[in-house]
Structure 1
Amino acid sequence: MRLFFAANLKLSAFFKNLKCNDNRVRKPLLSITQRGAALSGGAAAMVVCGVLTADGLFVLLGGCGLLIACFCFLLGKINLARLTPTIHMPANVMAGRTFEIELTLSNHRQLLDAFSLRMDVTLPGKSVLSAHAPWTAAGQSSRTILQGVIQGRGYADTHPVKLSSKFPLGLFRLHRSLTLRREVVVTPMPITPMELNSHGSLQDALPSSGLSTGNSFGEPRGIRSWQAGDSARHINWPASARALACGHDLRVREYDPPGFYPDQCHIIFHSYASGREMLREDRFERAISLLTGTLKELQGKGIPCIISADFLDWEPVECQSRKQMIEFLVTSAKIRRATGTESHDLERAIRLTSPDYAVIIISDMTPDSWTHLLASSANIMAIDIRQIRYRHRTLHAATS
């Protein structure tokens, strides 16, 4: 029995320590299962006992067990050979939003089918999607469509893929590492700041502005007959029911024009803080989400804006159209937090803003550490980073 357990432990350690080189990273070639360890260890112990006791039957049985283990190992290696995975997914996705991803596994062998294969694909943000292909015929492909979600912004043009299988008898779990090339951009998750939704906030940032938007409602004016082009959500169903009973058309609620907003806006993003405030990476991701939400809110109201940020070396970026906004969101997926931002950099950025623009300042630092620089500027809206409370959601960036 001692020989049996000793041989079992040594053989298990031997198989678990097997390594292979793959793209300068040493990864395990295989891992032995409990079933494989029991068979291999028992067979080796029987061979040793047969040799020591000169018992040919023990040697024969142990040799057969080792032969079965070797045969399963070789068949498992063949099962992973000449397989090509492919991935189809949107090139641009938004963090925290579900999207469809199609995984395809092609078997290029002419004779042997592939059995019991597991495919793990690593996406930006360390999100892993797994798929199982029980059987892939020779010269055919297996396809599956999954629902994926990436929690944090990021960018990647290569994606590690790991193929694994326990075929044929579950004695070994063999692995094969591959790399898929496909550019994927994960834009930040937009979060609209509370300051933008507060009553009169944008008007206070620039009182002399006067741009009307049609996306929001003003004061109710009354009810009129339905006309071509009216939205279905404006239909007053109780009044329409009474009108239809009398043989008339549908009735639609009519509103006065909505309130006024700034003609144009200048957004400043910085990472400056006075004193010794602790730097937190999660706050930078929150601030990027607030910046994205602000940009989309202004774009939805038809307000053109200019963005100046320290992570862009204070180069102004115009966002006057939806195309320019999408280009900025793609850029924001790859940015890193700027270091070394000084007070004079922020002051210069504020001085360079046009007096005709409403100014919104967003930072990953608390307003208490930088609002003292705004004393001479009254028409500025400061966004507080402390308004967001995340529980189990991560927004860390991942760029490979």
Structure 2
Amino acid sequence: MHDIRFIRENPAAFDAGLARRGLDPLSAEIGAQDAQWRATSTAVQESLARRNEASKAIGAAMARGDAATADALKAEVATLKTRLPELETEEKALAEALQARLAAIPNLPAPEVPEGPDETANVEQHKWGTPRSLNFAPQDHADFGPALGLDFEAAAAISGARFAALRGQMARLHRALGQFMLDMQTGSNAYEETNPPLLVRDEAVYGTGQLPKFAEDLFRTTTGHWLIPTAEVSLTNLVREQILAEAVLPIRMTALTPCFRSEAGSAGRDTRGFIRQHQFEKVELVSICTPEQAADEHEHMLQSAQGILEALGLPYRRMLLCAGDMGFSAAKTFDLEVWLPSQGVYREISSISTCGDFQARRMNARFRPEGEKGTRFVHTLNGSGLAVGRTLVAVLENYQNADGSVTIPEVLLPYMGGMTELTPKL
């Protein structure tokens, strides 16, 4: 959510930020809405004050025997009593319209975010690892995975496209990856393990920016709850409507949860395989902090996600997203992209974003600086540490062998019950 005072005082800067997102200027239109709302709000306050003033004056006029003045004041009060509900209704409607307008506008890019309309303008900042040299043509996980327990056909028969069932050794490897990630994030990286709700109300999805604009990307139940598209929604909203002490910040949380996405905007993309599913698991990282802590928290979150990839020995690169390729709530985003041998390209496996106070304003999440009476909005950050399904794909492809087996990365062996490789079923 944008600060209306910032738009009032810095219309040119606001429009410049929107332009970097590829959007037309809006400050003039928003300013007109704001002025209309403020004028109506002022009229309500003035009418209330005049009604109270006139009501008191009636008694004074009657006390001095001035019936004409008392009658005139009574008529004025009666008119105000009729008019006030109309003004209050108008003020509420104008306030809601202004809030709805502000809620539909994406966050402004941070100054250091590069210019550009789409992913072609993203900037590679760092690359780690060398892709493994194979003495055979690498296969796509969708081709050799079924023999290892990655069952697309049975899942499609019961749920439709973009669902998969993991069986036997494949399910074990998937579980091992999630537990390994969670152990690293809670142990080495000081995130608090959290088990949050998977079903949330409108306010929660609004708070992190998925509503109202991206409702079609979500699944909604008949009770009106939403299935979380990411644990970011649940974790970030755990501080909604709160005033936190500065001393407790930063708050770092992590969760391994199922996630549910309709993938409404991805028709035709990644239709084969396990990369883009309606249901998947992810280890999410969330940080709630002061504005001054945000830059360090962003780097800490990046290192936490990169550490997983490095421990697994998966080559990756870090990309700084351009203004036109960032998510709705983000002010600055880094993508981590992992190497997939079958495609010969790096593919996104984690997005790590700082959102400034954009989400905090929507959630009314604040903190009180030490020694001060006033409050400030917290800053929020979120990222994947990592998406379990995409990491599974990366492990399968990078550790595949010519005979169709897959070697288990060393760091996962303690989670595999003595298994050292996945072997194809005959």
**Same fold? TM cut 0.5:** no
Structure holding more helix per residue? 2
TM-score range, shorter chain: under 0.3
Larger relative contact order (C-alpha < 8 A, sep ≥ 6)?
2
Larger radius of gyration: 1
Q: Please, what TM-score do these two structures have when normalized by structure 2?
A: 0.24
